[in-house]
Amino acid sequence: MSGLPPYAGFGERLWYYTFRVICGLIFLFLITPILIVIPLSFNVEPYFSFTPGMLSFKSEAFSTRWYLDILQNGMANPDATTGWWADAWSNSQWVRSMKNSFYIGILSTLISTALGTLAAVGLSRSEMPFKNAIMATLISPMIVPLVITAAGAFYAFSQFNLAYTYSGLILAHAVLGIPFVIITVTATLVGFDQSLVRAAQSMGASPITTFFKVQMPLILPGVISGALFAFITSFDEVVVVIQMAAAEQRTIPRQMFSGIREQISPTILAVATVLVIISIALLATLELLRRRSERLRGLSAS
Amino acid sequence: MSDTHTAAVMAADGTPLKARLARAMFRRKLDAFLLVLPLLVFLMVFFLAPIAWFLSKGFHDDLFATEMPNTTAALADWDGSTEPTEAQYAALVTDLIATRKTKTIGKVATRVNREHSGARSLFTSSARKAAKLDAPFKEALIKTKKAWGDIAVWQGMKAASRTYTIGYYANALDRRQLADGSIVAQPEQRQIHVKLLIRTLEISLQVTLYCLLLGYPIAYLLATLPNRTSNLLMILVLLPFWTSILVRTTAWIAMLQSQGVLNDLFVFFGVTADEARFSLIYNKLGTLIAMTHILLPFMVLPLYSVMKGIPPSYVRAAKSLGATNWTAFWRVYAPQTVPGIGAGAILVFIVAIGYYITPALVGGQDGQMISNFIDFHMRRSLNWNLAAALGTVLLVVVLTLYWIYDRVVGIDNMKLG
């Protein structure tokens, strides 16, 4: 269907170009809001809109003050000349929430990736009993509304002093990451040749050696992209954090949430820009992994 | 046929081969299951059990029964319509003194207040004086507060004293359980939950429809363009998918608010006057726009993967047999995309119906959804029982859809990116 045949009539031509324009507008709808935050975050004024100065590209209408504010907000002494970075590292609100986000994200990813990969290996075996019911259970954290997950976790965890703790948040986020690990790793295992496992075992390898030396290297791209999905899920998650985190455990999305509700300032836009750049980096990593995985499975020409 | 029984094939050690095979198969099944077991246990402990425990609060509430044991016992065989007896008043005074000592009177008062409004102040003020009262307690209590003579207060206590109650579910569906156990509709101005549920379904349905309208053309374009171009355009779908929901919501605030980018453009092109800017956000419209944007990739990705698998030769064949472009599309191509439409639509609807963040930030008054109410009862009004009952209603809807999704698409076919 791509490309227009030479015999196309006027109506067909008209529709062909109209269709492309419609699609262009939809793509514009998808991408504009994400790109618009980048120039807006360099606004010198504390507004969420383009000033006349910005539109005529005057250099004094732009500034990096909101990026500086990310670091300074909450600092003990932002004007000090010595120990500025140490102060920002230990006192800045945004830096602290960045540290929380990575701490909770990485630990919960480790749990969900380890347990999820193991389960995916079991699920991909043909002799797995109750496969469909188990799969439905393992995917359910993605389906159950987050408000219910958060309320359940908060209610149950608070009986064991796990609410308002890092451990509680990590466990709850690990649960949320599991479906993504299961989906990506089982998808990778579909292309995995089970006779390789039998070959390794027939040559005397123990199941553990087989797993780490034969199976793991081949499914590694799938495991890593599953882990990235799990990490971004935790990194993005805010409903559970709103319900379960104390003030000092606030993550970036939580900080943004109260920022939008309470004192909306372009600092939010600066943080948003940083996050957009992080997601571009993640997307690129995933794309590279996908290509590598396809090459390994011989699905596309090298 | 009896020959086969006598001549069963034996394994080397003399046991029947069939039994050996069954045992080997069982071992392999067990092996596979043991790999999944740790995760199942993990989910059971940190996900399924907590939710089940929490949702059980929707019908189980033992606060009044534990804190006011004497009153509960006295109310057990009261029919709910005769004049309360002196024994009931005496039990009440004993319990009021005890709960004031343990400082739980506030909780008890709040609990009864849910059944009979106005009971909170009645309980807290009378609890302060209860220790000084002398028998007969009936006259003494009514003397401190006239309302104690009102049978409705007692009916409220009777309702609160039930450990297992359907009162919260009744409330979640805008009904009310009376003291005699019958269920009636709430007064008109307190009927909010059914309306809220209908609004939630309506918003989710609209978002699903808009996602389909916007997602179908671009999925078609992506599926039919050459790989190199479609991979590039795919970035425009995947980048929003990977960007934080908070970032996208913030971006829509910047776009849509009255001093925002879109309104500035409208004023610039003379669509509207500077003083009459459109209110595009902090209402239902804002919720619809932002949610459609956020959920659009969930529609495009399944549609794309289905369309990618449709051989272009079918449409060509239809055309060579004389079909017009429209007929070829509508009668040949579109029916083959129905599985993709089903997968995308159910997925978008499931995610939309439980949405919380975007309505909370850009929804204003009329853009709030059921999740926002559950959160309100969890963190603000602290009526966890009602939150659990509302949560159960929401969960039942979602799980039904999940079951349909499994039937229509199959969970194994779920793909990401």
Chain A residue with Cα closest to B54: A152
Chain A residue with Cα closest to B27: A127
Q: What is the pLDDT of residue A102?
A: 95
Instruction: Flag the least confident range among A139-143, A157-161, B366-370.
Output: B366-370
In angstroms, the separation between the Cα of residue B51 and the nearest Cα of chain A is 4
Model pTM?
Answer: 0.88
Q: Which two structure tokens, joined as six digits, stand for B301?
A: 């990705």
CB contact under 8 A, A184 and B416: yes
In angstroms, the separation between the Cα of residue A129 and the nearest Cα of chain B is 6
A window 104-143, beta carbon within 8 A of B = 111, 115-116, 118-119, 121-123, 125, 127-129, 132, 134-141, 143
- Domain map (residue ranges) of chain B: 2-56, 63-189, 193-413
Tens of pLDDT along A205-247?
Answer: 998 899 889 888 888 888 998 999 899 999 999 999 999 999 8
**Per the domain annotation, does A17 fall within a domain?**
yes
| Cα separation, B108 vs B114, whole angstroms | 10
Helix (H, G, I), strand (E, B) or coil at A203: coil
Residue A1 pLDDT greater than 60, yes or no: no
In angstroms, the separation between the Cα of residue A9 and the nearest Cα of chain B is 12
Q: What is the pLDDT of residue A297?
A: 66
Q: Is the C-alpha dihedral spanning B184, B189, B195, B200 positive or negative?
A: negative
Instruction: Flag the least confident range among A21-25, A170-174, B354-358.
Output: B354-358
DSSP code, position A251: -
A window 244-263, beta carbon within 8 A of B = 253, 256-257, 260-261
- Tell me which residue range forms the domain holding A7: 1-34
Number of domains observed in the structure of chain A: 2
B224 contacts in chain A (CB < 8 Å): 1-2
**Per the domain annotation, does A153 fall within a domain?**
yes
Helix (H, G, I), strand (E, B) or coil at A300: coil
In angstroms, the separation between the Cα of residue B143 and the nearest Cα of chain A is 41
| Cα separation, B208 vs B298, whole angstroms | 10
Q: What band does A282 get if pLDDT is binned at 50, 70 and 90?
A: confident
| Cα separation, A3 vs A149, whole angstroms | 49
CB contact under 8 A, B236 and A27: yes
Axis crossing angle, helix A10-40 with helix B245-256, rounded to the nearest 10: 100
Query: Would you tell me how many other CB atoms lie within 10 Å of the CB of residue B98?
Result: 17
Interface check A52 vs B, CB under 8 A? no
CB contact under 8 A, A236 and B245: yes
CB contact under 8 A, B406 and A147: no
Same domain, A129 and A207: yes
**Per the domain annotation, does A209 fall within a domain?**
yes
Option in B36, B357, B398 nearest A119 (CB):
B36
Q: What band does A73 get if pLDDT is binned at 50, 70 and 90?
A: confident
Residue A151 pLDDT greater than 90, yes or no: yes
Chain B residue with Cα closest to A241: B357
Q: What is the pLDDT of residue A302?
A: 34
Residue A301 pLDDT greater than 60, yes or no: no
Q: What is the pLDDT of residue A57?
A: 82
CB contact under 8 A, A236 and B57: no
**Per the domain annotation, does A3 fall within a domain?**
yes
Q: What band does A298 get if pLDDT is binned at 50, 70 and 90?
A: low
Q: What is the pLDDT of residue B116?
A: 84
CB contact under 8 A, A186 and B375: no
Q: What is the per-residue DSSP string for B73-107?
A: HHHHT--SSSPPPHHHHHHHHHHHHHHHHTT-HHH
Interface test with A, best of B246, B304, B314 (most A CBs within 10 A): B246
CB contact under 8 A, B33 and A128: yes
Option in B28, B224, B246 nearest A253 (CB):
B246
Length of chain A, please?
302
Q: What band does A271 get if pLDDT is binned at 50, 70 and 90?
A: very high
Same domain, A270 and A188: yes
Q: Which residue has the tokens 């975050």?
A: A41
Same domain, A111 and A243: yes
Interface check A299 vs B, CB under 8 A? no
Q: What is the pLDDT of residue B416?
A: 61
In angstroms, the separation between the Cα of residue B91 and the nearest Cα of chain A is 31
Same domain, A133 and A238: yes
Option in B25, B36, B415 nearest A187 (CB):
B415
Same domain, A7 and A154: no
Instruction: Please tell me which residue, B116 or A202, carries the higher pLDDT value.
Output: A202
The third-level CATH classification (topology) of the domain covering B193-413 is MetI-like fold (1.10.3720)
Q: What is the mean pLDDT of residues A148-166?
A: 94
Task: Indicate the burial class of B51 (C-beta count within 10 angstroms; 0-12, 13-18, 19 or more).
Answer: buried
Same domain, A26 and A101: no
CB contact under 8 A, B246 and A243: no
| Cα separation, A221 vs A296, whole angstroms | 10
CA atoms within 13 A on the CB side of B140: 16
State the CATH number of the domain containing residue A193.
1.10.3720.10
| Cα separation, A263 vs A241, whole angstroms | 20
| Cα separation, B40 vs A37, whole angstroms | 42
pLDDT tens digit at each of 417 positions of chain B: 445 555 678 877 778 888 888 998 899 899 889 999 999 999 999 999 999 999 999 999 888 988 899 899 888 888 878 888 888 888 888 888 888 888 888 888 888 888 888 888 888 888 888 888 887 888 888 888 888 888 888 888 888 888 888 888 888 888 887 766 778 888 888 888 999 999 999 999 999 999 999 999 999 999 999 988 988 899 899 999 889 899 999 999 989 988 888 888 888 888 888 888 888 888 999 999 999 999 999 999 989 988 998 998 999 999 899 998 889 999 999 999 988 898 899 989 999 999 999 999 988 888 889 999 999 999 998 899 999 999 999 999 999 999 988 888 777 766 665
**Per the domain annotation, does A51 fall within a domain?**
no
Q: Is the C-alpha dihedral spanning B311, B312, B316, B319 positive or negative?
A: positive
**R_g (Cα) of chain B, nearest Å:** 31
Q: What is the pLDDT of residue A165?
A: 94
Range A48-77 burial, b when 16+ CB lie within 10 A, else e = bbbeeebeeeeeebbeebbbebbbbbbbee
Residue A12 pLDDT greater than 70, yes or no: yes
A1 contacts in chain B (CB < 8 Å): 224, 312, 315
Instruction: Flag the least confident range among A79-93, A168-182, B240-254, B355-369.
Output: A79-93
**R_g (Cα) of chain A, nearest Å:** 25
| Cα separation, A154 vs B391, whole angstroms | 14
Q: What stretches of chain A show up as alpha helix (H) in DSSP? A: 10-40, 52-55, 65-72, 84-91, 93-123, 131-143, 146-158, 166-190, 195-202, 207-209, 216-236, 239-244, 252-261, 266-296
Residue A10 pLDDT greater than 90, yes or no: no
Interface test with A, best of B60, B256, B411 (most A CBs within 10 A): B411
Interface check A47 vs B, CB under 8 A? yes
